[in-house]
Amino acid sequence: MVNVVQELGDLELAVLVCLVADQHCIIKAPEELLDDVEAEIGLIATRRFGLQSKSLECSRTTSVEEFSDAVVVDENDREDEVRSPTLYPPLP
């Protein structure tokens, strides 16, 4: 287990820490990298941890209600197979 954790990349480790702490991941990145970071987090969530991810775009005008509505995962959008969280080998 220690070897697997030591092989995690920065984003993978950030996601793992959030999962262990039972908190949402809030990750900031330069605007030009947001699409790449979002895609990478989605891959980490599904391939590494067997979970579903959700990304939000917030601004200073985002209300609490808008934020709350956005973080709720619609059961109809869930994948057919949702695995239990597990540490999988590093992504290629």
Instruction: With CA atoms as reference, report the closest residue to 71 among 56, 51, 49, 50.
Output: 56
Q: Note whether residue 13 is domain-resident.
A: yes
Q: Note whether residue 8 is domain-resident.
A: yes
Q: Note whether residue 41 is domain-resident.
A: yes
Q: Note whether residue 86 is domain-resident.
A: no
Q: Note whether residue 88 is domain-resident.
A: no
Q: Note whether residue 63 is domain-resident.
A: yes
Total domains present in the chain? 1
Q: Note whether residue 85 is domain-resident.
A: no
Report how far residue 62's alpha carbon sits from residue 4's, in angstroms, rounded to the nearest whole number. Answer: 38
Q: What is the pLDDT of residue 92?
A: 52
Q: Note whether residue 44 is domain-resident.
A: yes
Q: What is the pLDDT of residue 74?
A: 64
Residue 10 belongs to domain spanning: 2-77
Predicted model pTM: 0.63
Q: What is the pLDDT of residue 32?
A: 94
* Residue pLDDT tens, the chain, 92 long: 777 788 889 999 988 998 899 887 778 889 899 899 989 988 998 988 888 887 778 888 999 998 888 877 666 655 544 444 445 555 55
